[in-house]
Structure 1
Amino acid sequence: MKKYSAVFLAFIILTLSVLPALADSSRGNTTIQSFNKAKKTLEREVYYDHRQTIYCGAEFGENKQVILPTSFHAEKHIKRCKKIEWEHVVPAENFGRTFKEWRDGDSQCVDNKGKSFKGRNCASKVNLEYRYMQSDMYNLYPAIGCVNAARSNYNFTMLPSAKSTFGSCEMKIEDNKAEPPVDARGRIARTYKYMEWAYPRYKMSSQQQKLMQAWDKMYPVSQWECTRAKRIEAIQKNTNPFVEEPCKTAGLW
């Protein structure tokens, strides 16, 4: 009897030790694993009545064509200014490099010419967890294509220069860093905090954590941010508490 009791006790201890990890892994997206499906779902079921880009507030139609703001201009990626693209606010590379397939490749990542590949395409092909992270709709926002291209995978910060990179759109990009317009900062902060909370493999630097904490406090939720999160929750079946809780407190949920 004592032998079985010891075995049962060991089983209970093991189960309790595993539960937190299971809880963490279920915080994020486990519903949509296709990046293309996530983009189409956002356009059709989330942004159908609020077709505005995150950084510049530019409007876009069902055909993804952008109505550029007055006095908007770009020096690079001009052709991509015509349409919206779906921006990973937390860049895919920032969490993608935590996956072995992104860094080193995999035996399954071989093209039709027999050449091995790695990076985003390999991680997407081989790793289900990566596909869920890449397709998480809380982290995807519409952006003017050339702005998305210029932002690249740069970290957000406060830049000393007062000059906008895109004319009337107050998005600044300089020295491989980006400073978003005031209207976008709160949404960006709560997205970064969500991604770190939902996916334990992703960690912000201490500098980014401090910045996002500050922006979260300085720029409160808006009605649209709350509506967006509520719609995504209904589709993706998980919550972003950094948006939902302040929305409920403000009576916007």
Structure 2
Amino acid sequence: MFFRCFVSILFVFSAIAVQAAPNNFSHAKVLAKEKVYFDQTDVGTFYCGCQYEFTGRSGGRINLESCGYEVRKNETRAQRLEWEHIVPASNFGRARQCWQEGGRKNCVRNDPVFAVMEADMHNLTPSIGEINGDRSNFNFSQFNQRSSFYGQCDFKVDFKNRLAEPRNEVKGQIARVYFYMFDRYGLNMSTAQQQILMLWDKTYPVSAWERERDERIAKQMGHSNPFVTGERTWTLGHKNSREGMMDAYSANSVPVNLDASFVRGNKRSKVYHLPEGCPSYNQISENNIALFSSELTAIEAGYRKAGNCRN
């Protein structure tokens, strides 16, 4: 009896400790401010280590003198704290059909899976607005460039080749966030990007703050980054778990039969049909048939289930 009560108490405390995951980007920024970075303003921004103060719901103002930052071009954004996606939103957005049909705004409005990825707090970090804008969606790399454009902030950008190199202190964390996002959401990473990030992961091990950050985020998201905790490692040609895709579909009540084979999609209507329970399965014009190995792959390609399917 005592054991059952003890377990029940532990369950209650666990339920209280783990909050509901953010359901959109705006919510994620507020939680990042209040639950993760609330005591890190003096430690500074991710790429430059500039001190900042929070203002409003999730924004902030940068103390540029605290890190010797020099404005390259955009004074307004240089003074503004912004929340950067370490893996850019366009990188994971381009894998979604919604992006092809209307970009980020369309994905935010119409794709619940994109919303989950955009709100993933493991991928968010406070950044100087100008750095966030200049980094854009450039790949990370290492290259020969004598100095930064930003004074004492050691962040390099090769605008011609669309590359960026951060300071050494955050290279390992960047690598492990990339591994997490690509693994969790089934994204494809180039061999060259894998190689540079694997080198950073090995050269710059998990810091005390990175581990603390992961624990704080896990209390909000309900899970850690396994590449930070050491539960998972990345090797060349890594096979993605795609755990986040399953969670996203489940959270948004999208019924998925992962074992269905030979799912047929209609290229014109973007509707898919199962071999059993869907009357129109054999009525699609041969020229319009798109074959998928499962409902999941059809949904990921931007197709929706036919309304006349009985299962």
TM-score range, shorter chain: 0.7 to 0.9
Q: Give the count of matched residue pairs.
A: 203
Query: 2:192 is matched with which residue: 203, 207, 213?
Result: 207
Instruction: Output one character per residue of 1:217-243: Cα deviation in whole Å (capped at 9) or x when no partner.
Output: 000111111110000001100220111
TM-score (norm 1): 0.78
Query: 1:245 is matched with which residue: 215, 223, 230?
Result: 230
Which residue is equivalent to 2:61? 65
Instruction: Output one character per residue of 1:146-195: Cα deviation in whole Å (capped at 9) or x when no partner.
Output: 11111111110111112112110000001221011111101100000001
Query: 2:28 is matched with which residue: 23, 38, 47?
Result: 38
Retained in 1: the 8 A contact 2:22–2:220? no
Deviation at 1:70, TM superposition (A): 4.3
Match of 2:125, SS?
A: strand
Alignment of 1:1-253 (within 5 A): 31-51=21-41, 52-63=44-55, 64-68=60-64, 69-104=66-101, 118-174=102-158, 175=160, 176-200=162-186, 202-245=187-230
Instruction: Output one character per residue of 1:46-103: Cα deviation in whole Å (capped at 9) or x when no partner.
Output: 0011122110011111221111134311222221111210001101101100111111
Relative distance call for 1:159 and 1:85 in structure 2 (3 A) is same
**Between structures 1 and 2, the one with greater strand share:** 2
Deviation at 1:31, TM superposition (A): 2.7
Relative distance call for 1:70 and 1:213 in structure 2 (3 A) is closer
Cα distance in 2, alignment partners of residues 227 and 213 from structure 1: 22
Retained in 2: the 8 A contact 1:70–1:168? yes
Which segments of structure 1 move beyond 6 Å, counting only runs of 4 or more?
none
Cα distance in 2, alignment partners of residues 198 and 33 from structure 1: 17
Cα distance in 1, alignment partners of residues 28 and 170 from structure 2: 21
Retained in 2: the 8 A contact 1:229–1:240? yes
Q: CA RMSD in A?
A: 1.3
Match of 1:73, SS?
A: coil
Unaligned runs of 5+ in 1: 1-29, 105-117, 247-253
Cα distance in 2, alignment partners of residues 237 and 225 from structure 1: 17
Retained in 1: the 8 A contact 2:49–2:67? no
Cα distance in 2, alignment partners of residues 205 and 74 from structure 1: 32
Structure label with greater radius of gyration: 2
Letter in structure 1 aligned against 2:116: Y
Which residue is equivalent to 1:250? none
Instruction: Output one character per residue of 1:185-217: Cα deviation in whole Å (capped at 9) or x when no partner.
Output: 0110000000111111x1111111111111000
Cα distance in 1, alignment partners of residues 115 and 121 from structure 2: 12
Instruction: Output one character per residue of 1:32-54: Cα deviation in whole Å (capped at 9) or x when no partner.
Output: 22100000100111001112211
Seq. identity, %? 37
Retained in 2: the 8 A contact 1:88–1:139? yes
Pick 1 or 2: higher relative contact order, CA cutoff 8 A, min separation 6.
Answer: 1
Cα distance in 1, alignment partners of residues 97 and 150 from structure 2: 36
**Between structures 1 and 2, the one with greater helix share:** 1
